[in-house]
Structure 1
Amino acid sequence: MTHAGPDSVSTVVDSDTRAFDVVVVGAGPAGSAAALEAARAGCSVALVERGPFPGAKNVYGGVVYGRVLDELVPAWWERMPVQRWVTRRATMIMTPRQALTVDFRTEDWGAPPYNGATAHRADLDSWLAELAVEAGAVLVPSTVATGLLRAPDGAVVGVATDRPDGDLTAGVVIACDGVNSFLAKEAGMHRAKEHLTLGVKQTLELPRETIDERFGVSGRDGVDFEILGCTRGIPGGGFLYTNLDSVSIGVVLGLEGLSEAKTRPEELIADLKRHPAIAPLIRGGEEIEYSAHLIPEGGYRSMPELAGDGILVAGDAAAMCLAAGIWLEGVNFALGAGMYAGRAAAAAVRAGDVSRRGLAGYKTMLERSFVLADHRKLADIPALVLSGRVQTSYPGLVCDLAQGLFQVDNPRPKPGLTALLRRSAKANGVRWRDLARDAWTGMRGFR
C-alpha cells in the first residue's frame, strides 16, 4: 500500500487484502445504523468518528421521530435517551405583531410506540453507537478520514486517516460524514449545486415545573412549535421545543438570503424571543447553550448519487433532510438510510460484488421505503416553502385574514370570506394567479 499524504488520495495496490468488510465514516444516526445492520449481518465493521466519542462534536438537539427504529431496536422507546415525548405539535405563522397557531395535541403520542421525542444528540448518538458496538462493530474514535483509498481501477477500497497506525481498508465505505461530505465529493458523487441552511439555536434553562405550567404539559410530555414568518423575509423559519428542564429556540436560515440580508442570526433569535406570542413562554430563561450547524434542505432534487464502486452515501451526506413545511424531519431519514446502507453493503460483501452494480440494492431499498418515497413525493415543496411569497407575503395574508374573521366591527355587518381574502391579498401584495399557482403546487406535492 502506498500513502501519498493527508491531502491526497492513497492507492491500495493489493485490494484483496482488507482490514474490514465495511468502514462507516461518521458515528451519527446514519452511520451507527449502518454499522449496526452490517455487523448484525456478520460483517467486520469499523465505525470511524472524529470526536473522542459519538456525539462529542454535536450540539444539535431536536425532535426525533423514532418509529423507523421498530426495525432496528425492538421496544426502542424503553432504551432510547429522550428528554420529552412530543404530545403537542403546533405550526405558528407570524408577523411582528400577529400570530396564528394551528395547535394539535393527542394522548395517543404519550404512550408506546410514541410519535416524536425531543433528545440531545450527544446522548442519542452515544446510545446508537453502543448498539453497533454490542453487535460487533469496532468503534474508532478521535479519527479523521482524510480521503479515499482507491484500487488501480478507481474503485473505493477504504479511507485514509490521520491515525499513526495507518489507513482502513474495506470492501465497502459508507460515507455518513455530514452535510459537507468530503468523501462523497472526492468520489465525484455530489451535485454541483447544493442548498444549505444554517440552523442557529439557543437553549434556555427553566425549571421543569415552569415549563409544564407554561406549555400545558406534565410528566414527560413535551411540545414542538414550528414557526413561519420570523426571519425578516430571509428564507427559513423558527422553532421552539421543550426539553426536561430547558427550552430550545432558534431559526433556520438560507445561507444566500442570510448573506444578502447582512443580518446576524442572533438578531433574528432576539426578535423571536421578544415576540408577544413567544416571550411569555420563555420569560426568565437563562441561556446555557448557543450553537449552529448546517442543514441540507434542498430535498430530493439536491441529493447526490447514492452508490458508486465500493461506496455508499447516507444521512446528511446524502441531503436526506426533509424540509417540507409541516414536515421538518432529518434523524428518522438518516436512521432509515443508514439501516438500508448497512444491509446493502452486507449483501454485496456476501455476494462478492461491491461494485456500483453490486450495491444497487441500496437505492432499491430506499425507493421502496419512506426515505426516497417521501422525498420524491415532496420534491417541489422545499422550493415552495422557501420562496419569497411564502416567506414574506403569506404570513401577513394569513394573519390579516384571521384578524378580519375574528374582529367584531359592529354596527357594520361581518364581511364575507372572499372579501376578506381579497383585502388581505391586496394588502400583502399577493396576486390571485400566484396564490392559485402556489396552492396547486402545494396540493400536488401533498397529494
Structure 2
Amino acid sequence: MHDFDSIVIGAGPSGISAAITMARAGMKVAVLERGPYPGSKNLMGGVLFTNVLDTLIPDFIARGAPVERHVSKKTLSILSRDAETAISFRTRNWDAPPHNHSFTVHRARFDRWFAKEAEALGVELYCGVVADELLKDGDGRVRGVRTRMPEGQNPSEGDLTAPVVILAEGANSLLAEKEGMKEPLKGHDVAACVKEVLKLPVSVIEDRFGLDGDQGAAMEFIGEATSGVPGAGFIYTNRDTVSIGLILFLEELSAEGISPVDALDRFKAHPAVAPLIRGGELMEYGAHLLPETGFNKLPLLAKDGLLLVGDAAGLISTSPRHEGSNFAMASGMLAGEAAAEAFKAGDFTAASLSSYKRKLEESFIMKDLEHYR
C-alpha cells in the first residue's frame, strides 16, 4: 500500500500543473517543496503566457491570480553604445480578454496562489522538505522518496511511497542526474539570469512607458545591452515596480571576464534605459541559472515510475519570447496526464509513461524547441 498515488518534487509551475492534473484524475498527490513556501526561491518578475493556465484554471483572474498587468505593448530594441533602434507593437485587441494570454507577474506571489489552487483540489503540500534520494524496489523501479526536513517541522519526515514520482526540481535537478536521466550542466549549456526589481510610483510607470490602467509593457534588448556577451536584456512593468535584467550565456560571460553585476549596471546606465528606471528604489536583486540545452540535448524523460518536467528537463524556450513558465506548465500538465493514464492502467513502467514524450512531441513545446534550436 502506497502513501500516495504520486509524489511531485518541486512546487513551481511544472510541479503544480502536474499535481492539479493528477488530482483532477482522482489521484492522491503530494508535492514536496524545498523552500519555506512555493516561489520562495524564485526571482522571476516577468511575463507569464497563460495559454496553459487557461486550460488548467479557465477562471484564473476571477479566482484571484496575482497578475500585475496585462501586456499591451511589446518592444524590441537594438542598442549601440549610445543609441537605440526600436520596434514597438501594440493593439487595442490586447486590452480585451484574454489579453493575448500575456501578463506580468511576480513569481513568488503567483506560485503561492497556484499551489493553493492545487491544495483546494486535495493535493498535499509539504514545504521545507529536502528529497534526498529516490526509493526503489528490488527490480530498480522507483517506489517513492526519502525525505529530510528541519527538525520538528514535519511529522511526515522519512520515507514516502508512491508508484510514480515527478521530478520538477528546476535547472539543478540532482536527482535526475543521479538517475542518469541527464548530464550535469556545463558552462555552454547554461545562461545566467541577473535581475533587479525597482519600485516606482504607478503614475511614473504609466507615464514613462505610455500605459493606462492595467496596461503593461514588455521590452527586450539586444546588441550592446549585454556588453558584447551573447544574450538579451529585458524590462517588464508590474503594478508599482519594474523588473529589469539580463540573460547572459555563462561560458562567454566567463571568457569575457565580466561579472553579471557589472553587465547589469552598464545596461541600466545606457541612455535608452536609464530614463525609464530613474529614481527606482531597489526592492530585490538576484541571479539564477537557466538551462540552454535546447532541442538537440533533451534528457531521458521517463523511466520506470519516474518522469522529468520543466527546467529539470531542459524544457525552456531559447526564443525571444522566453517561454519558461508556459513550457513548464505545459510539460507538467502533460506529465500529469501520462501519470493519470498509467494510474488507470495500473502500469507505471517506462513503456507506459513514455506517452509523456509522445504528448510533448505533439505539443507546441517540441515544435518551438525544434524551431529555435
TM bucket normalised to smaller: over 0.9
1:176 is matched with 168
CA-CA distance at 1:208 after TM superposition: 0.4
**Does structure 2 conserve the Cα–Cα contact (< 8 Å) formed by 1:306 and 1:313?**
yes
Give the paired residue count.
362
- Residues 294/192 of structure 1: CA separation in 2 closer, same or farther (3 Å cut): closer
Letter in 2 for 1:134: A
Paired residue for 1:33? 17
Match of 1:65 in 2: 49
Instruction: Please list the CA deviations of residues 28-61 of structure 1 after superposition, one character each: whole Å capped at 9, or x if unmatched.
Output: 0000000000011011100111112211222222
Match of 1:83 in 2: 68
Secondary structure of the corresponding residue to residue 301 of structure 1: helix
**2:338 is matched with which residue?**
344
- Residue type matched to 1:91 in 2? L
Task: Kindly indicate whether the alpha-carbon contact (under 8 Å) linking 1:191 and 1:303 is maintained by their aligned counterparts in 2.
Answer: no
Aligned mates of 1:192, 1:56 — CA distance in 2: 24
User: Could you tell me which residue of structure 1 aligns to residue 129 of structure 2?
Assistant: 143
Residue 284 of structure 1 corresponds to which residue in structure 2?
Answer: 279
2:32 paired with 1:48 = yes
Letter in 1 for 2:78: I
Paired residues for 1:12-411 under 5 Å: 17-79=1-63, 80-115=65-100, 116-163=102-149, 165-191=157-183, 195-229=189-223, 230-324=225-319, 326-379=320-373
For the 8 Å contact 1:40–1:136, the answer to whether it is kept is no
What do residues 70-109 of structure 1 show as CA deviations (whole Å, max 9, x unaligned)? 2211222333211111110111111112211111111212
Q: Which runs of 4+ in 1 moved over 6 A?
A: none
- The answer to whether the 8 Å contact 1:201/1:251 transfers is yes
Contact 2:177–2:184 (8 Å) recurs in 1: no
After TM superposition, give the deviation of residue 192 of structure 1 in Å: 5.7
Q: Give the CA deviation at 1:327.
A: 2.4
SS state at 1:84 partner: strand
**Shift in Å, 1:360:** 1.2
Asked whether the 8 Å contact 2:231–2:248 carries over to 1, the reply is yes
Where relative contact order (Cα < 8 A, 6+ residues apart) is larger, the structure is 2
Deviation (angstroms), 1:362: 0.8
User: What is the distance in 2 between the residues matched to 1:154 and 1:368?
Assistant: 30
Could you tell me the TM-score, scaled by structure 2's length? 0.94
Counterpart-to-counterpart distance in 2, 1:314 and 1:193? 16
Q: Which of the pair has more CA radius of gyration?
A: 1
Deviations 1:184-223 (A, max 9, x none): 1111110466511110011111100001001000101000
Letter matched to residue 170 of structure 1: A
**What secondary structure, in the 3-state scheme, does the structure 2 residue paired with 1:327 have?**
coil
**C-alpha distance in 2 between matches for 1:27 and 1:40:** 17
Distance across 1 between alignment mates of 2:270 and 2:193: 19
Amino acid at match of 2:131: A
Deviation at 1:18, TM superposition (A): 1.6
Structure 1 alignment gaps of length 5 or more: 1-16, 380-447
Does 299-308 or 84-93 show the bigger shift? 299-308
Q: Deviations over 1:101-136 (max 9, x none)?
A: 111111212221122111011111111111111111
Instruction: Indicate the RMSD between aligned Cα atoms, in angstroms.
Output: 1.3
Does structure 2 retain, via aligned residues, the 8 Å contact 1:145–1:160? yes
Gaps of 5+ in 2: 150-154
Q: Does the 8 Å contact 2:45/2:236 carry over to 1?
A: no
